[in-house]
Amino acid sequence: MANIKIHFLGAAGTVTGSKYYLETPVMNIMIDCGMFQGLKELRSQNWQPLPIQADKIGIVLLTHGHLDHTGYLPRLVKEGFKGQIIGTAPTLSITAIILRDSAKIHEEEAEQANKMGYSSHDPALPFYTLREAERAIDLFQAEEKDQWVSLSDTIKYRFRFNGHIIGATFIELEILGKLFVFSGDIGRKVDALMDAPERPQWADFLFLESTYGNRLHPQENVEEIVIGLVERTIHEKGQLIIPSFAVERLQSLIYLFWNLYKKNRIPNIPIYVDSPMGNNVLSVFENYPQWHKLSMSEYKAMCNHVNIITSYADTWKTIDDPRPKIVIAGSGMITGGRVLTYLNQLIDEPATTVLLVGYMAEGTRGRQLLEGAHELKFFGKYHPVKAQVAHLESLSAHADQQELLDWLKEIKNIPERVFLIHGEPTALDAFRTKIRDSYRWNVHIPKLYEVVEIVI
């Protein structure tokens, strides 16, 4: 018999900060290494050292490149981790882009906070620097999907395609003959850019995301809604501002607007893409065509249809341009990024429309807008919200409750335990009940920093 300890170091009782640490008799493994976002009490956890020894971790396996799954990597290295960080090639490309961009934002925000004096810390420090991000990137090693990779005589893993974003996978990790399955973030059955996720056939211990564990995506007519927003923007001589994640969401939006124009459903309204990170992600789509649905001709046509902003000076030129326009800018939940520069100038204009796309986590400005906030705080000041706020939930890259249940259908055995992760409390509780009613499986909702011991 052998004991395996599982440490839930993130995305336990919340949707951010995915980090799972497995202590085994042979080696110690971390699955994902994300940073917390959203609520202040969660973000403050980022600054606390992990309750484990980073130098004892043998390897980190990444499901995909999003910040809430990778953003703690530079801190992990700073705390002493020296092993390999492994993912698929596009996942590591995305992660490198996100870490570099995040580091620059941390450095710029610290500099601005010190200059304007609105931080409670003196001096304000970046969460990590570009140099620290590069130290983590130096540890990257790519592996192919669908191929078992041995870490020892008794431990092996493989990556399986999972939709969601380019490069995303779920991880099958076999330890001493038992199969641990980490779902990562599960994509949609029908997606403009990604194929449907593959499904696991066996799982002794299942770690299952629950972002939409209590909801079904609405049956929205996305094209008609977007057409209406474009028509309003033109009629009001306003601006349609879309906060967007740089990975998959931004590319999906570009594809959507290009498709509508190609079908003569919208006029040739100027479209600006202002996300340095998103621009870099477009090159990942070009470098890994086998990971998405677009042909190269479609990819080039949709990129040529938009104006890609490459400098901060061009950001201000775009803001000063009085013509009606569409602006797609980072970040998706309005937690930072270029979109704040646009909102700083335009959120108090009734002719402005802010279109929120997908999931808005607790504590983010996106969630505040969604819930009808009359003002938003950023750059140390409160800004009145006079813009119209719209929401498209069906463009989410996350599976909804029914799609999550369908993802489980091909599992042939009864898992010994199912751990529900990456969800807010109401979603976790509703999904636990649904799984028990549907499959009669043993479901556990771990708490943050809980340690579960498994005897094999």
Q: Quick check: bond before 331 cis, omega within 30?
A: yes
| 33 and 92 in a common domain | yes
- The enclosing domain of 76 has a CATH number of 3.60.15.10
Question: Based on the structure, what is the number of domains in the chain?
Answer: 2
| 375 and 294 in a common domain | yes
Domain final residue pick, 338, 367, 392: 392
Domain final residue pick, 362, 392, 422: 392
Q: What is the DSSP letter of 54?
A: G
pTM above 0.85, yes or no: yes
Please give the pLDDT value at position 101. 87
* Residue 25: count of CB within 10 angstroms of its CB: 13
**Rounded CA gap, 426 and 239, in Å?**
35
Q: What is the DSSP letter of 453?
A: E
Alpha helix segments (H runs only) across 11-117: 40-43, 67-70, 73-78, 89-116
3-state secondary structure of 286: helix
Please report how many Cα atoms fall inside a 13 Å half-sphere around the Cα of residue 121, on the Cβ side: 12
| 440 and 373 in a common domain | no
Q: What percent of the chain has pLDDT over 70?
A: 99
* Residue 156: count of CB within 10 angstroms of its CB: 14
Q: What is the mean pLDDT of residues 260-275?
A: 96
Question: For 65-115, what is each residue's pLDDT tens digit?
Answer: 999 999 999 999 999 999 999 999 999 999 999 999 889 888 888 888 787
β 417-421/205-209 pair status? parallel
User: Is the predicted pLDDT of residue 233 greater than 70, yes or no?
Assistant: yes
Work out the angle between the directed axes of helices 339-346 and 312-320 (0-180°, nearest 10). Answer: 30
| 233 and 353 in a common domain | yes
| Paired tokens of 379 | 């750059």
| 44 and 164 in a common domain | yes
Question: For 165-223, what is each residue's pLDDT tens digit?
Answer: 999 999 999 999 999 999 999 999 999 999 999 999 999 999 999 999 999 999 999 99
List Cβ neighbours of 328 (8 Å cut-off, separation of 6 or more).
242, 244, 250, 253, 254, 271, 272, 273, 274, 275, 278, 306
Structural contact between residues 32 and 18, judged by C-beta atoms closer than 8 angstroms: yes
Phi, psi of 357 (to 5 degrees): -125, 120
Domain that holds residue 230: 222-392
User: Is the predicted pLDDT of residue 251 greater than 80, yes or no?
Assistant: yes
Domain final residue pick, 392, 412, 431: 392
Torsion of CA 330, 335, 337, 338, to 10 degrees: 70
| 408 and 267 in a common domain | no
**Rounded CA gap, 226 and 325, in Å?**
13
Length in residues, the chain: 456
